[in-house]
Amino acid sequence: MKINLSPNQNPTAPADREAKIAEGGFGKYYTDNMLIAEWDEQSGWGDATIKAYGPLSLDPATSVLHYGQEIFEGLKAYSQPDGGVSLFRPDANAKRFAKSANRLALPELPVEDFINTVTELVKHEINWVPKNFGESLYIRPFMIATEVGLGVRPSNHATYLVITTPASAYFNPNKAVTVWISTEYVRAAPGGTGAAKAGGNYAASLLAQKEAATQGCDQVVWLDALERKWVEEMGGMNLYFIKGSGKDATVFTPKLTGTLLAGVTRDSILTVARDLGYKVEEGMISIDQWRDGIASGEITEIFACGTAAVVSPVGAAKSAQGTWTTGNGEPGPITMEIRNHLLGIQHGTIADKHGWNVKVK
Ligand SMILES: *Cc1c(COP(=O)(O)O)cnc(C)c1O
């Protein structure tokens, strides 16, 4: 895919840009440019263009606005000790994007085109990459169905875009999130779209998120659709349970059954935990096992993981059956060790022995 340059002629002034980066947060400010490419059933993918960030103009009958045919990705560029910038495992996101496209009947973007377009845009926006540890440039590639018409069918036109936003360390080490275990609503069912990163999954999750808030909780924990018993994910993040403590601890995560989203962070932590000497296990955990594991002391720490927050400790879990609190509500030592190790690899302060970092600059 050829990338044409038609950049923003009026980019943010350096002082303003630095102030916006320093303000932190997540998704508040977007960088000066975005990337866009169009696909058509007849002609395939056209060239990509890097151009000024700004509104899209869409016909009101554009397919995505009615039937939600949309997929997205999330990955980060991290500044490195030598002043360079690296992407973390962009190949994994590229492959997942192609899988999501396939499930949503959107055109697959070749892996190399995904990586090249993301790399070129980040190169262009390199001054927007925050320098501090834990901070990054968050990259949001997405694809929408842009055939105009209300007929229900796979769109014969699609638009791929990449936008970027500086993200601060999204982690409050003194506050574990509280979770509401939803038994009324489900995120994903067998045969559905749970394994695809699709906007529709999020749309369908928001009512449960609202319910969690009325229960005084920060996030929803999703159970399997059939038995409403097996723990799957938390909000838009995967879950980890630490069983036992010290070097004999087991680092456990729900296995990928087809209804879970295969997180890149989840996958990286399987490897990092093994590298750190822990036993690692993928399996099934029921809400009863969660409750009993907390009661018996077998489960010592719980955390959620995903690109945006990297690692987020989970404290109290509330359900129709009661509330179970992990530890003292503060992030546990293994949670912190894993988080610091992964972030260290991403920032180039710990050796990247699996070759995960891809240099942009
Ligand atoms: C994106 C996402 C995750 C986390 O995936 P990462 O690749 O680690 O960011 C987990 N669950 C859901 C539902 C997601 O959409």
pLDDT over 90 at 328, yes or no: no
76-134 residue pLDDT tens? 999 999 999 999 999 999 999 999 999 999 999 999 999 999 999 999 999 999 999 99
Are 290 and 284 spatial neighbours (Cβ–Cβ below 8 Å)?
no
Amino acid, res. 311: V
301-312 residue pLDDT tens? 999 999 999 999
CA-201 nearest atom, ligand 1: 13
Percent of the chain past pLDDT 90, that is, above it, reads 94
> Nearest to residue 45, comparing CAs of 55, 35, 30, 53?
35
Q: Is 35 helix (H, G, I), strand (E, B) or coil?
A: strand
Is there a domain that residue 358 lies in?
no
* Distance (Å) of CA 60 to CA 63, 148, 200, 210: 9, 8, 19, 29
Residue with tokens 């050829």: 2
pLDDT, mean of residues 311-340: 91
Residue at a domain's end among 136, 167, 198: 167
Domain containing 269 equals 177-347
Question: Same domain, yes or no, for 285 and 341?
Answer: yes
Are 13 and 158 spatial neighbours (Cβ–Cβ below 8 Å)?
no
Number of domains in the chain: 2
Q: What is the mean pLDDT of the chain?
A: 96
pLDDT over 80 at 172, yes or no: no
Is there a domain that residue 96 lies in?
yes
The confidence score (pLDDT) of residue 330 equals 78
Residue at a domain's end among 114, 136, 167: 167
Question: Same domain, yes or no, for 16 and 141?
Answer: yes
Please give the helix or strand (H or E) that residue 237 lies within, else none.
Answer: strand 237-243
Question: Same domain, yes or no, for 143 and 56?
Answer: yes
Question: Same domain, yes or no, for 194 and 241?
Answer: yes
The confidence score (pLDDT) of residue 170 equals 65
pLDDT over 90 at 173, yes or no: no
Q: What's the CATH code of the domain at 144?
A: 3.30.470.10
Question: Same domain, yes or no, for 225 and 98?
Answer: no
Question: Same domain, yes or no, for 156 and 223?
Answer: no
Is there a domain that residue 150 lies in?
yes
Q: What's the CATH code of the domain at 240?
A: 3.20.10.10
Is there a domain that residue 356 lies in?
no
Spatial separation of the C-alpha atoms in residues 243 and 249, rounded to whole Å: 6
Beta partners for 258? none
- Using most ligand atoms within 8 A of CB, pick from 71, 222, 261 the residue to mutate for ligand 1: 261
pLDDT over 80 at 6, yes or no: yes
pLDDT, mean of residues 288-308: 96
- How far is Cα of residue 176 from the mean position of the Cα atoms in its chain? 19
pLDDT over 90 at 175, yes or no: no
- Look up the pTM and report it: 0.97
Alpha helices by DSSP H, the chain: 14-23, 64-67, 90-103, 111-124, 199-203, 206-214, 264-275, 287-296, 333-346
Question: Same domain, yes or no, for 24 and 131?
Answer: yes
Spatial separation of the C-alpha atoms in residues 286 and 144, rounded to whole Å: 36
**Is the shortest distance between the CB of 307 and ligand 1 below 6 Å?**
yes
Contacts of 346 (CB under 8 A, 6+ apart): 76, 78, 86, 88, 136, 310, 356, 357
The confidence score (pLDDT) of residue 321 equals 85
The confidence score (pLDDT) of residue 228 equals 97
The confidence score (pLDDT) of residue 69 equals 98
Q: How far is the CA of 171 from the centre of ligand 1 (A)?
A: 17
Is there a domain that residue 130 lies in?
yes
Spatial separation of the C-alpha atoms in residues 17 and 293, rounded to whole Å: 48
Question: Same domain, yes or no, for 89 and 231?
Answer: no
**Is the shortest distance between the CB of 74 and ligand 1 below 6 Å?**
yes
The confidence band for 327, taking pLDDT boundaries of 50, 70 and 90, is: confident
Question: Same domain, yes or no, for 136 and 242?
Answer: no
Q: How far is the CA of 306 from the centre of ligand 1 (A)?
A: 5
Residue 138 gets which letter from DSSP? E
Question: Same domain, yes or no, for 45 and 151?
Answer: yes
Residue at a domain's end among 167, 194, 226: 167
Is there a domain that residue 288 lies in?
yes
Question: Same domain, yes or no, for 153 and 259?
Answer: no
- Using most ligand atoms within 8 A of CB, pick from 100, 136, 237 the residue to mutate for ligand 1: 237
Question: Same domain, yes or no, for 160 and 192?
Answer: no
Is there a domain that residue 54 lies in?
yes
Amino acid, res. 161: L
**Is the shortest distance between the CB of 293 and ligand 1 below 6 Å?**
no
pLDDT, mean of residues 16-38: 94
Is there a domain that residue 361 lies in?
no
CA-265 nearest atom, ligand 1: 8
End-to-end CA distance of the chain: 21
